[in-house]
Chains A and B, each alone.
Chain A
Amino acid sequence: MITFRSLKWIGLSLFLLLSSCIRIDESMQLFFPKNLKELQFVQTQFSAFWWNFVIIEPAKNQKDQPDFKSADEICQQLKKHVDHELRYVFCGSSVASAEKILKSYAEDIVYRQPFVEADRQNNLAIMANSATQVSFISDKSLFSLLRYDPFQTWQQYLDLSKSSLIDSFEKKNGYLFDKQTSRLIIPVQFQLSPSVKSIQPIMDDLKSFSSAFMVGSHGSTYRNEKQVRDDLSEVSAISIVIFIAFLAFLVFKSRISILLLTIPVGIAVGLAMLITQWIDGSIHGLTMAFGSGIIGLALDYGLHGAFGSESKQTWVSNTIGLLTTLSGVCILLLSGIPLIRQMMIFSSVGLAIGFGLFYILFRFYGSYFKIKDIDFVLPQIKGMRWVVILLVLFGLYGISKSEMTMDLKKLSFVSNQEADLTTWFFGKNGGGDSFLLIKPFANVDESTYDEYNWAQKNSVQYEGLSKYIPSPVAQSLNVQSWKLNGCSFFKTIPDENIGKIYSPFKDFICDPNLSTPTANFEASPMKDKAYLSHLVGESHILSIFTAKDKQQAQLIQQEYPKATSLTEALKNFSIGLEHDLTWMIPVSLLLTMLILALYYRHWKPVFTSLLPFFTGLGLYFTVAAVMKFDVDLISILGLVMVFGFSIDYGVFSTDVHRHLGTEAEIKSVYSALTFAALTNILGFLPMLFAGHPVLVHLGTALFYGTVGTYLGTICGVYPIYLKGKVR
């Protein structure tokens, strides 16, 4: 027979081993349902979405004057990050920032248009003219750029790449300028999709400029993650203090062995991770964070078992508690959001394993876990029954009347300043609806190169490959003409000076390795072009159609049914989620009631076992109403956890009275519940001090849900059965 001591160490080693095999996913992929996955994909794949904007407020003492001094300093700092964290910074002087793009566009004249031998004299004249302009230029980068651009195509590119957002601002001293607010704006494009590592150095530099603020996906990601990190360090500090106090309490009460109960829970979490990974291939960080909390509810079964090890009823009540929790959790398995589905698989598997482990341990090693009662129960206070009645009413009212908000934006940490500036800045765009068309490289065909023609014909604003480059067939013909005739033309330019100026372009077109495009986009040199990089991802290309009104939106949808509207998809996602939850919550409640009805076969115990859940809900809805919190996705996840343990509390307390437990048994059950509630309350309390809405909303649901549940158990269920007896 394995000894208990060796079992402990086997358990601990197993947990550590399991944890080390887990592949944790931190991407946002799992967060989105199928229809939103594409939209998430474009934001991580295409640099078109990696533009951010540094907004510089006017100096405090000169509100109506733009702060060019700070802007120049910021511009210099930002330019140091080009080719590291940043790809482009457009501010201050010259075309240096756009040099790569303009050079690549200038060279590609060989793919865009044919070289016409008959235009020889005209071409020479144009080049002589361009050379004259060169004589006015003393900027080195502009000069080196123009040496690749004998026909001055850079102006064409500037016309093509115009953006309505950028054009809504004036340009002043090399900055975008807003006349009304005197704000200056510096557009920057990051090298990679948002991650704190790539943004940190930029934000460190901006810190010394109190008037500068970065809006855009990278700025927002940084502030969110920073807030979560700040919150976690604050929450951890508070948690450590609480944990030490809790340990002192356990030592003082000689109940330190309670900590042993955490080992089976740890093993359950580890095994659940393995199983989830086996199903999904990896496990998301958020699943681990939230799901582990739900699996932690298994600790209640352990506590119930440890305090009530003498009673035969304990494991029957635990089983009913498990079934009711699983009924709530399993309904959410039908959710459209993959992350919630994964969370629920993880939680239900872990909860079942935790329950199983505790059952086996208590069956064979029960004596090791036996814990003496603690006389530590909230005393009955006069009038509390009215509070309980009110909380039940608030709970019922809240569940039927409160409006759920599934707007994902509300889960983001946004300061007032950020909200104001973001609305102001992006509001300048005019509010057209953008349709994104994403194609794998393999699907890029002739029709892709017709998109621009279609958009122009229908006056639709368009950004895509075909705006800049013709089809591969046309490209091949064009480049052949340059190879055959263009090269010899440049080699025989009569004016030696002009020949010298444009020698880099001559070398480019006369290079025997000058690539010929193919219909296979994967193998085409086009995918590596700087001027197309915002539209070409690792495996897909992107086209963006912007509709200025509903009629145009319909037209786009008819012609390109696979094009997805960003706003529409987000709206549908929220509506779908709300729709899911409006039927899932009542169904899981009904299912739970059905299990309880089958178990008790009488209305009173069904009512009392549900009572703590409704008082928990009641307190949460009251606090949410006072603090003006929306009931959002995160709050719902918190309430699912509250649902799980509150019905456990109701069942445990109902059962001990219903089966006419002895005074000692009653005391042990309430000790276990007090202990379980105390650990929850102490665990969730620090989250209330966080600043990020996700942590605050989750903390609020869990903390007040637990307090309400405990009040419902002690001041609701207990007096109902004892009919006025005071402990």
Chain B
Amino acid sequence: MGWDFKEVKLKQSIRINTMNEKKSLVISRLESLGVDLEKIPFLKNGFWIKRSNFSVGATAEYLLGLYSIQEAASQIPATLFNKLENKIVLDSCASPGGKTVQLANLMNNSSVIIALELKKRKMFALTNQLERCRVKNSAVYNMDARKVSKLNMNFDCVLLDVPCSGNPVSDRQWFNRRTSEDILRNSRRQRQILTEAVTVTKNNGEIVYTTCSLEPEENEFNIDWAIKTLNVKVENINCYGKKGLTKIFGKKLHPSIEKCKRIWPDVTQGFFLCKLKKVAQK
């Protein structure tokens, strides 16, 4: 598909929460502690940890919510929306909350984010993160993303970082743990989540669909299905990554899927990104 498997050792990365402190001040505070930072070229507030003699997850600055530890590729999805201020936003599969905090940051902690998480045991990490980062504009529900219409709300922007099969970079045991049936099961669930998300999105609203899977069944095939089945079209995105695949396993997919981005594991983990727009029904 355009990538040969290789061992990738990820560098830890952080994202500065500029709603809580100026970026330059956080950088100088971390540097004064002896943390060696490297700007991630394709992210506005993202930095790789080049060297640190201690865990960056145990500094006063971290506990004060001045930055979050967030993998570089997963810092991209929230930045793909056009403009988030004054929008009603849905974060469908929110735990552990890194992207929810990032959305709050991009919204200047105003308006409303509805964050959903199905698993009760994951709610703790999510709410702990929101409290630590001083997020004020979120409401968290212990709810299946496939049932969000029960809230009777409509959203301007929907972030769908859907549960997926992951990839061998973030899970070393990936090849031992996954079967093709798992991938198909995930794909079916992702389509159900996507369908429900389109239902609750306002006309002309934006949906960002992402996975950290490299499997076409969970990415391009789902988007191809969505274009044909739901009232959506693929939008251009300008971010790090290669074009989405339009010819896979002998199948020819909708040409607009080229606008999606596929990030092959290298300086980040593997990732797939797609921005959809809900087309107004006639």
Task: Verify that A and B bind, or say they do not.
Answer: no
